[in-house]
C-alpha cells in the first residue's frame, strides 16, 4: 500500500481535471447560480439576474481563452478585468448582507481547502520520506514541490474556460515538470525505487 500511495495524489488531480472538463461552462455557470440561490436566499428576480451574469462571464471567458492571438500577460489582464466586471454586476443584484455572506463563504471555502491541501502535502512527503528513506532536507524539498504543483493543478482544474485538449496537454507538461523536479531531489537509488513504486501502482490500477 505504501508503495502505491506516493504518486496517487498527483494522478488523481489530473484525473479530476479531465472529468471536470466534460462540464459545459454554461452548465457550470447555472450550477453556481443554483448554489448561490440556496446559500444567499435569492429571490426569483435575483436568481435570474445572477444566472445571466454567470453565463455572460463564462461566455466571455471561454472566448478569451480560445483567442490564440493573445499573449499570456494580455489574457491574464483581460481575465482580471472580466472578474472585476462580474463582481461589480453581482454587487448591483445582491443586497449588502448577501454580498458580505458571499465573500465570507468564499473565504471559508478557501481556508478549508488550503488547510486540507497543506495536510495532504505533508502526509505525502512523510510517506515518501519513509518509503524512500529521504533525509529531512529531501523531505522538505519534496513537500515544497508537492505544494507548488498542487497549486498549479488546482488552477488548471478550476479553469472552466480551457478546452479539454488544452487542459490535457497542460496537465501532461505539469506531470513531466513535477517528475523532473522530484528526480533532482532524489539520489539515483531513491529515484530507481520511486520509478518501481510508480510502475507497481500502474500495474495494480489496471
- Each residue's pLDDT, cut to its tens digit, for the chain (206 residues) gives 434 434 444 444 444 444 444 457 888 888 999 999 999 999 999 999 999 999 999 999 888 878 888 887 888 889 889 999 999 999 999 999 999 999 898 888 777 666 555 555 556 777 778 888 889 899 889 888 888 888 888 888 777 666 777 778 888 899 899 889 989 999 999 989 888 887 877 776 55
Provide the phi-psi class of 71: left if phi over 0, else alpha when psi is between -120 and 50, else beta.
Answer: beta
What is the tally of helices (H) and strands (E) in the chain?
Answer: 9, 0
Tell me the pTM: 0.49
As a whole number of angstroms, the distance between CA 19 and CA 87 comes to: 28
Give the CA count within 13 Å in the CB-facing half-sphere of 197. 18
Amino acid at each position: 500500500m505504501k508503495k502505491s500511495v506516493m504518486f496517487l495524489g498527483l494522478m488523481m488531480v489530473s484525473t479530476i481535471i479531465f472529468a471536470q472538463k466534460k462540464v459545459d461552462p454554461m452548465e457550470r455557470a447555472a450550477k453556481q447560480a443554483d448554489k448561490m440561490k440556496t446559500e444567499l436566499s435569492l429571490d426569483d428576480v435575483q436568481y435570474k439576474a445572477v444566472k445571466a451574469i454567470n453565463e455572460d462571464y463564462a461566455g466571455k471567458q471561454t472566448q478569451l481563452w480560445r483567442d490564440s492571438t493573445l499573449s499570456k500577460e494580455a489574457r491574464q489582464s483581460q481575465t482580471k478585468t472580466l472578474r472585476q466586471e462580474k463582481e461589480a454586476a453581482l454587487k448591483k443584484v445582491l443586497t449588502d448582507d448577501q454580498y458580505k455572506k458571499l465573500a465570507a463563504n468564499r473565504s471559508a471555502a478557501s481556508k478549508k481547502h488550503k488547510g486540507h491541501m497543506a495536510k495532504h502535502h505533508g502526509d505525502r512527503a512523510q510517506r515518501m520520506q519513509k518509503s524512500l528513506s529521504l533525509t529531512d532536507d529531501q523531505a522538505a524539498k519534496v513537500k515544497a514541490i508537492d505544494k507548488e504543483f498542487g497549486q498549479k493543478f488546482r488552477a488548471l482544474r478550476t479553469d472552466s474556460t480551457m478546452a479539454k485538449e488544452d487542459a490535457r496537454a497542460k496537465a501532461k507538461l505539469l506531470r513531466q515538470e513535477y517528475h523532473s523536479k522530484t528526480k533532482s531531489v532524489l539520489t539515483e537509488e531513491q529515484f530507481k525505487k520511486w520509478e518501481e513504486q510508480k510502475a507497481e501502482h500502474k500495474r495494480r490500477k489496471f
